[in-house]
């Protein structure tokens, strides 16, 4: 097994919140994300990593984007699971929506242009679901 996988297997926690935080920290390091957080549908922080941004405000933006997503689905009649906003430098604000235990939550990241954003956010969502659904939080 490769060294990175072995190190990741060692750096685990049985406490769901800590395990979820470690999941976000891992993908944030790998993708050089400037921020990573998971919030409820209303924008309340579930888990986040330290960042230069105010994570509570980012959670509020995620809640607003969730409302935008709902309006798009209502008006345009198609389902969406993410909203991506890019600035001129290529930095992306990504908000991905998914369900955990029947509740809509969002994973929000701020990522540089050349980061493997799709792969990492998909892996993070799979990991967060596995952690939180297994523990019935």
Q: Dig out the tokens for 26 from the structure.
A: 């891992």
Pair 98, 122: CB distance under 8 Å:
no
C-alpha span between 15 and 7 (Å, rounded): 18
pLDDT at 23 over 70: yes
Which domains occur in the chain, in start order?
Answer: 3-135 (3.30.450.30)
Q: Report the candidate in 38, 13, 9 with the shortest Cα–Cα distance to residue 121.
A: 38
Q: What are the start-end ranges of the E strands in 32-71? A: 35-40, 45-48
**Distance of alpha carbon 107 from its chain centroid, rounded?**
2
pLDDT digits (tens, 9 = 90+) for 102-133: 999 999 999 999 999 999 999 999 999 999 88
Quote the pTM value.
0.85
Q: Dig out the tokens for 15 from the structure.
A: 């406490």
């Amino acid at each position: 097994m490769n060294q990175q996988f072995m190190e990741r297997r060692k750096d685990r926690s049985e406490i769901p919140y800590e395990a979820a935080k470690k999941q976000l920290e891992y993908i944030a390091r790998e993708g050089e994300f400037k921020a990573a957080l998971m919030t409820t549908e209303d924008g309340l922080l579930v888990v986040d990593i330290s960042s230069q941004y105010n994570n509570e405000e980012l959670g509020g933006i995620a809640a607003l984007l969730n409302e935008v997503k709902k309006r798009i689905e209502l008006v345009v009649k198609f389902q969406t699971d993410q909203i991506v906003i890019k600035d001129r430098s290529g930095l992306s604000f990504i908000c991905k929506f998914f369900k955990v235990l029947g509740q809509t939550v969002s994973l929000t990241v701020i990522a540089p242009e050349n980061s493997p954003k799709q792969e990492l956010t998909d892996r993070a969502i799979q990991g967060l679901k596995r952690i939180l659904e297994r523990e019935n939080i």
